[in-house]
Amino acid sequence: MRIEILCTGDEVLTGKIVNTNFSYMAQKLEDVGLSVHWGTTVGDDRESLLAAFKLAGERADAVIVNGGLGPTVDDLSQEIAAQAAGVELVLHEEWLEKMESFFTRRARTMPPNNRKQAMLPATAEMIDNPVGTACGFAMDIGKARFFFTPGVPRELRKMLEEQVIPRMLARSGAPASIHLKRFHSYGIGESHADQLLTGIEDLDPEGGVKLGFRAHYPQLETKLTVRGTDMNDVHRKLAPIAAEVKQRLGNFIIAEDDQTLEGVVLAALLAKQATLAVVETFTAGQIAARIAHLPTAEHVFRRGAVVRHFSELHNVFGLKSVALAGEMTEEATIAVAKAAREQTGASHALAVLIELDEGSDRIDLGGTIWIGIASPEGVDFRRSRILGGREWVRLGAVELGLDCLRRQLQGLPVVERIDFEKT
């Protein structure tokens, strides 16, 4: 099935907003085994919209149109869709009533211009939007089935996943059930992971499992798209391959599916009824900022300390016994973590202390990262070095610090070589 995406709106065309809806839609389609073949962006302009609808209707089998369903005069999708298909706009009473009750429930009166949102092309099949007033719809233009979706990301996402993708899958003749399994890892580069997982797709002799990656430094997402006749079939195919992925990526897997690294760390701390203190230098508060604001973190997060000079750690923790003025040492790192634990009363203390190279920012500027974790089980230490400029070092150190804490909490080795470090 040849699929196109057509994004409309002056804000997208002028670059005033970055078009994240496009990549979102394309990824969601990829995840269920469908591929986008062509993307078009046009503004709120009658002539361009008509030309774009006609071109896509000649080339594609299915087209997702995004945007232009709002109540204002520059929202033109229904009008131009009707024109492109040579049909009239008709009032959709069902949607009008729905909008009126939408406003009534919010104790407001529906403005008259919202009525426009219930005007759909005569041949349109209505697609429900449970979270907004923009009515989605599907209709044929040329040889393609067009799916019209709202520009508001929250409304788009719900409609795409619950309404549009099932309709597209039905048309594509794809198997009835598709499932996306995701593994998030830290410490393995995309090509290394690709190599570690060689041949994994062949473990399903029926070819129902597809492997893919999405790298967003410092994390890597490994994706298994599984197709089957029903969900039982999908899970039967997925189970041995997911087990093999876990085996091969091992301790580097930090989270699965919708989990995050910080969410996994927080859950592990909550499960132990543990509390956390964090000491940071060049990461500048970013480690605390990943975890301390999350719901339920108020039960776990005890205290964070940020300094830019090791000597300041003396003042924070009264560390008279350890020389901190000069270079960092393993002994000093451990002393900081232990002092943070004792003085805050937290069960776990994470110290991430960074010696940044001298000089201005450059691609080979590096940082030496000293990590100490004090816990009821004792003390863990790790020293690492990351190159790649100030931001690269900072992002890497935030992730490395959180990942060392995850490993400690899960009883895994805190020291295990990662692809990004140069030691």
Based on CB atoms, which residue is closest to a second copy, 246 or 309? 309
User: Does 43 sit near a second copy (CB under 8 A)?
Assistant: yes
Among the listed residues 143, 246, 293, 422, the single contact to a second copy using CB under 8 A: 293
Bridge-based pairing of strands 136-141 and 209-216 is unpaired
User: Does 14 sit near a second copy (CB under 8 A)?
Assistant: yes
Based on CB atoms, which residue is closest to a second copy, 58 or 94? 58
Q: Which stretch binds a second copy (CB under 8 A): 84-92, 135-143, 302-310, 366-374?
A: 302-310
Instruction: Please report how the helices 20-31 and 165-172 are oriented relative to each other, as an axis angle in degrees rounded to 10.
Output: 50
Closest by CA position to 187, among listed 337, 382, 12, 53: 382
End-to-end CA distance of the chain: 49
Based on CB atoms, which residue is closest to a second copy, 146 or 301? 301
Among the listed residues 32, 42, 80, 339, the single contact to a second copy using CB under 8 A: 42
Based on CB atoms, which residue is closest to a second copy, 190 or 244? 190
Report the SS3 class of residue 228. Answer: strand
Based on CB atoms, which residue is closest to a second copy, 246 or 308? 308
Which residues contact residue 88 at a Cβ distance below 8 angstroms, ignoring those fewer than 6 apart?
Answer: 82, 121, 122
As a whole number of angstroms, the longest Cα–Cα distance in the chain is: 84
User: Does 39 sit near a second copy (CB under 8 A)?
Assistant: yes
Among the listed residues 33, 37, 194, 251, the single contact to a second copy using CB under 8 A: 37
d(CA 277, CA 286): 14
d(CA 262, CA 118): 44
User: Does 291 sit near a second copy (CB under 8 A)?
Assistant: yes
d(CA 121, CA 81): 7
Bridge-based pairing of strands 36-42 and 3-8 is parallel
Among the listed residues 94, 161, 202, 361, the single contact to a second copy using CB under 8 A: 361
Q: Tell me the closest approach of the beta carbon of residue 213 to a second copy, in angstroms.
A: 9
Cβ atoms of 407 and 251 within 8 Å: the answer is: yes
Q: Which stretch binds a second copy (CB under 8 A): 93-101, 141-149, 265-273, 309-317?
A: 309-317
User: Does 280 sit near a second copy (CB under 8 A)?
Assistant: yes
Phi, psi of 268 (to 5 degrees): -65, -40
Interacting positions 51-80 with a second copy (CB under 8 A):
52, 55
DSSP string, 108-119: -PPPGGGGGGGE
Q: How far is CA 242 from CA 158, 181, 197, 253, 318, in A?
A: 27, 8, 11, 12, 49
Based on CB atoms, which residue is closest to a second copy, 76 or 120? 76
User: Taking CB under 8 A as the rule, which mask of x and - marks residues 230-249 in contact with a second copy?
Assistant: --------------------
User: Does 161 sit near a second copy (CB under 8 A)?
Assistant: no
Cβ atoms of 294 and 266 within 8 Å: the answer is: yes
**DSSP code of residue 221:** E
User: Does 309 sit near a second copy (CB under 8 A)?
Assistant: yes
Q: Tell me the closest approach of the beta carbon of residue 48 to a second copy, in angstroms.
A: 6
Q: Which stretch binds a second copy (CB under 8 A): 66-74, 79-87, 266-274, 312-320?
A: 312-320
Q: How is residue 123 written in tokens?
A: 């041949």
Report the SS3 class of residue 329. Answer: coil
| Residues at the contact surface with a second copy, assessed by CB under 8 A | 7, 12-20, 22-28, 30, 35-43, 48, 52, 55, 214, 278, 280, 282-289, 291-293, 295, 297-298, 301-309, 312, 315-316, 344-345, 360-361, 390, 394
